[in-house]
Amino acid sequence: MTTVLDLAALATTAFGLVAAAVVLASARRLVSALAVLLDFLTAAGLLRLAGDPDWSTIAAAAAVIAVRKLVTAGLRASRPG
């Protein structure tokens, strides 16, 4: 089962990179593309946690979620109005 989850996490990461590139190419907004990429990376990290949770996997997922939260907070703070 972990092999299937590892492949699903890898596919989610690849789809995230492609989706972020499509958003960047179509909307020309780096912020939107980064948000899409971080959402896909969060999903991939959670898929990896579903398999065989060890401390390195937990730390990687926590790091992605922390970066996502920091970027979101920074974007909200920099918005005018």
Angle at CA 48, nearest 5°, toward 34 and 25? 20
For 5-62, the pLDDT digits (tens) are 989 999 999 999 999 999 999 999 888 888 899 899 889 988 888 877 889 888 888 8
For residue 4, the tally of other CB atoms under 10 A from its CB is 10
* Alpha-carbon separation of residue 34 from 29, 41, 50, 64 (angstroms): 9, 10, 24, 12
**pTM of the predicted structure, to 2 decimals:** 0.79
Going by C-alpha positions, the residue among 11, 12, 16, 34 that lies closest to residue 24 is: 34
Q: How far is CA 21 from the centre of its chain?
A: 13
The segment with the largest mean pLDDT, out of 19-23, 41-45, 67-71, 74-78, is 19-23
Looking at residue 58, its pLDDT comes to: 87
Mean pLDDT of 58-76: 84
